[in-house]
Chains A and B, each alone.
Chain A
Amino acid sequence: RKEVEQDPGPFNVPEGATVAFNCTYSNSASQSFFWYRQDCRKEPKLLMSVYSSGNEDGRFTAQLNRASQYISLLIRDSKLSDSATYLCVVEGDTDKLIFGTGTRLQVFP
């Protein structure tokens, strides 16, 4: 089983739609969780950290479910500029970040 698993997509949604991504992780001892965004042929950049209490940043909401070992990302009112690959990132062994394979989102007009 992979340490971090994501649905690769693609998710094709119209502008204004709400879309949700899930990610599961295998290491129950993990303490740090992130969502990164990667545009085509670019480097990944941090979108948001994921806290136990859940957190929101504008149209983006991230949540953590420790019991079921998954994290989620909700994007409301999708924009064309949201089209990208979203990477789930989980703390691995000490000092290591483990990346999921990414979920591709395509927002169309």
Chain B
Amino acid sequence: DAGITQSPRHKVTETGTPVTLRCHQTENHRYMYWYRQDPGHGLRLIHYSYGVKDTDKGEVSDGYSVSRSKTEDFLLTLESATSSQTSVYFCAISDRGISTEAFFGQGTRLTVV
């Protein structure tokens, strides 16, 4: 299995609080992605990174920010969590971008109450 871990695996937080999810890889892959998965919507891209300090928005980026200061770490921050951000968040990595296999972390289940 690819070396990719997400932390925390589960989190319950209150509306309005900031939350940071961490994705850590040991594969030295260039590309890293954050997705959220909700019933009826499948996996939707939030943000992605194509190198250290190089990031771009996905289709559902509002309310989220990311940072990548090292190859191995990609952080997703919810500046002020809302109930609509209750979801399962998956991090993924790939070596050469869209033409190659993406490996996923085990997911973070976030509940905003």
Give me the interface of A with B, judged by CB distance under 8 Å: 8, 31-32, 34, 42-46, 49, 87, 91-92, 94-102
Complex-state Cα separation, A99 to B40, whole angstroms: 12
A46, B97: Cα distance in complex, Å = 14
Partner of A43 from B44, B90, B99 at Cβ < 8 Å: B90
If A91-B98, A98-B45 are given as contacts, then 13 extra A-B residue pairs at C-beta distance below 8 Å, sorted by A number, are A8-B40, A42-B106, A43-B90, A43-B105, A92-B98, A94-B98, A95-B31, A97-B33, A97-B98, A99-B35, A99-B44, A101-B40, A101-B41
Given known A-B contacts A44-B43, A46-B102, A101-B42, A95 and B35 have beta carbons under 8 A apart: no
The B interface, classified by DSSP as helix, strand, loop or mixed, is strand
Q: Which of B50, B101, B105, B106 contacts A95 (CB 8 A)?
A: B50
Residue with the highest number of chain B CB atoms closer than 10 Å, among A46, A100, A101: A101
Interface residues of B (CB under 8 A from A): 31, 33, 35, 40-45, 48, 50, 56, 58, 90, 92, 97-99, 101-102, 104-107
Smallest Cβ-Cβ distance to A95: which chain B residue:
B97
CB distance from A56 to the nearest CB of B (A): 18
Q: Compute the total of residue contacts between A and B using a CB distance below 8 Å.
A: 53
A98–B45 Cα distance when bound, in Å, is 8
Q: Which residue, of B43, B98, B102, has the highest number of chain A Cβ atoms within 10 A? A: B98
Q: Which residue from chain B places its CB closest to the CB of A43 in the assembled complex? A: B104
Chain B residues in 8 Å Cβ range of A101: 40-42
The answer on a CB contact under 8 Å between B98 and A99 is no
- Whole-angstrom distance between the alpha carbons of A92 and B99 in the complex? 11
Interchain residue pairs with CB less than 8 A apart (12): A31-B99, A43-B90, A43-B104, A43-B107, A49-B101, A87-B42, A92-B98, A96-B45, A97-B102, A99-B44, A101-B40, A101-B41
Contact A100 B90, CB 8 Å, known A46-B101, A95-B50: no
CA distance A100 to B45 in the complex (A): 12
CA distance A2 to B110 in the complex (A): 26
Question: Which of B42, B105, B106 is in CB contact (< 8 Å) with A99?
Answer: B42
B residues within 8 A CB of A31?
98-99
